[in-house]
Amino acid sequence: MNDPKNIQNIAETENYVVWTDTDDDGETVYHLELNSVTLHFFREDWDELLGLMDEVIAKSGKPGKPKPPKNR
């Protein structure tokens, strides 16, 4: 793991970075660095986290993102 040729940065800010690499079994691992904390996700968990963040963004009313209709 962490072979430099397998590492790919996805996004980076001043304090955060998301990057991927491949584990010994060939599975992609997503790394979310939040200052001094790093969370590691396999693809299924990463997809779940992205879905959760999509929902947070939609419900927060972030400018430029329309809010979804409320469930009735």
| Within-domain flag for 68 | no
| Within-domain flag for 9 | yes
The Cα 37–Cα 20 span in angstroms is 16
pLDDT digit string, tens, across residues 12-64: 999 999 999 999 999 999 999 999 999 999 999 999 999 999 999 889 876 65
Domain count, the chain: 1
Give the range of the structural domain holding residue 47, as residue numbers without chain letter. Answer: 4-60
| Within-domain flag for 69 | no
The Cα 6–Cα 49 span in angstroms is 22
Give me 32's structure tokens. 């979310």
